[in-house]
C-alpha cells in the first residue's frame, strides 16, 4: 500500500531509507467501499488523502441540490478540501468513493511535523501543490474559454484514464455540460456513445 506513495515521492525528490520509514509512520491506511464518503460537506477536512488504489470524486452541491464535480482522484493522486484543511473551516465539498478504495491519510498536524523531520517530503509536497494549482488553472481556462466539444477533446487527450473509468454523467458535470450535450458531443467525435 505504501509502495505507490513512496514511488510518487521518489519520482520528484530523493529519500533515504530512513526517511521512507519515517514517512510511512505518519500515514494511516483507510479503506472505503463504493459510494462511501471520505468527506461530507459541512465537516472540517483534517486529513490529506493519498489514493493507493481506487477512485474518488469531489463535488459541491448547489441550493437546488444539483451536484457539480470539482475533481477526481485516481491511483497515485491526492484528495482533500484544501480550503477546509488549511483554513480549518467547514468543507463545501463532498468526497465520495466511485469504487472500493485503498487510501493513505495523514493528519494536518502530522504533515507539518513530517515537513520538519523530512525536508525532502516538504519539497515534494510543494512541487505537488504547484502542479495541482497549474492543473486547476488549466481547467478554469478551459471552462471559461472552450466550447463543450473542445473541453471534451482536451479532457480525453489529457486524462484518458478519466474518460475510461468515470460514468458519463459525472464527466458531463465535470465539464459543466448536461449529459445530453455530452452525448451529442461524443456522437460527433470519433468515440461512439
Tell me the pLDDT tens digit for each residue of 30-70: 999 999 999 999 999 999 999 999 999 999 999 998 899 99
Distance CA 159, CA 109 (A): 32
**Residues 92-116: what's their mean pLDDT?**
96
> In this predicted structure, what is the pLDDT of residue 190?
56
Query: Cα–chain-centroid distance for residue 134?
Result: 14
Looking at the structure, give the CATH architecture of the domain made up of residues 2-108.
Sandwich (2.60)
Torsion on CA atoms 23, 29, 32, 37, rounded to nearest 10: -60
**Residues 5-13: what's their mean pLDDT?**
97
Tell me the pLDDT tens digit for each residue of 121-173: 999 999 999 999 998 898 888 888 888 889 988 888 888 877 778 898 999 99
Determine phi and psi for 174, rounding to 5 degrees. Answer: -60, -40
- 105 pLDDT above the threshold of 80: yes
- 81 pLDDT above the threshold of 70: yes
DSSP codes of every residue in 165-182 = HS-HHHHHHHHTS-HHHH
**Residues 26-30: what's their mean pLDDT?**
98
Distance CA 75, CA 134 (A): 20
Domain ranges of the chain: 2-108
Task: Name the band, by pLDDT with cuts 50, 70 and 90, for residue 112.
Answer: very high
- 189 pLDDT above the threshold of 80: no
Who wins on pLDDT, 189 or 115?
115
Torsion on CA atoms 180, 182, 186, 188, rounded to nearest 10: 70
Polymer length of the chain: 193
| Confidence (pTM) | 0.90
Distance CA 176, CA 172 (A): 6
Alpha helix segments (H runs only) across 33-189: 82-87, 108-117, 119-145, 148-158, 160-165, 168-175, 179-188
Burial call 117-145: b when 16+ CB within 10 Å, e when fewer: ebebbbebbeebeeeeeeeeeebeebeee
Torsion on CA atoms 28, 33, 38, 41, rounded to nearest 10: -170
Amino acid at each position: 500500500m505504501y509502495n505507490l506513495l513512496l514511488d510518487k515521492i521518489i519520482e520528484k525528490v530523493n529519500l533515504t531509507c530512513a526517511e521512507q520509514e519515517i514517512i510511512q509512520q505518519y500515514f494511516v491506511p483507510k479503506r472505503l467501499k463504493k459510494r462511501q464518503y471520505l468527506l461530507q460537506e459541512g465537516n472540517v477536512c483534517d486529513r490529506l488523502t493519498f489514493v493507493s488504489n481506487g477512485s474518488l470524486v469531489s463535488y459541491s452541491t448547489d441550493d437546488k441540490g444539483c451536484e457539480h464535480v470539482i475533481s477526481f482522484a485516481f491511483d497515485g493522486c491526492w484528495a482533500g478540501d484544501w480550503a477546509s484543511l488549511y483554513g480549518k473551516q467547514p468543507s463545501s465539498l463532498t468526497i465520495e468513493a466511485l469504487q472500493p478504495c485503498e487510501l493513505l491519510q495523514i493528519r494536518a498536524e502530522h504533515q507539518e511535523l513530517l515537513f520538519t523531520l523530512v525536508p525532502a517530503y516538504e519539497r515534494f509536497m510543494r512541487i505537488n501543490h504547484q502542479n495541482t494549482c497549474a492543473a486547476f488553472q488549466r481547467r478554469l481556462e478551459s471552462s471559461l474559454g472552450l466550447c463543450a466539444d473542445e473541453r471534451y477533446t482536451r479532457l480525453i487527450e489529457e486524462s484518458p484514464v478519466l474518460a475510461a473509468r468515470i460514468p458519463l454523467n459525472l464527466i458531463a458535470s465535470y465539464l459543466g455540460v448536461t449529459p445530453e450535450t455530452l452525448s451529442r458531443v461524443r456522437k460527433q467525435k470519433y468515440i461512439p456513445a
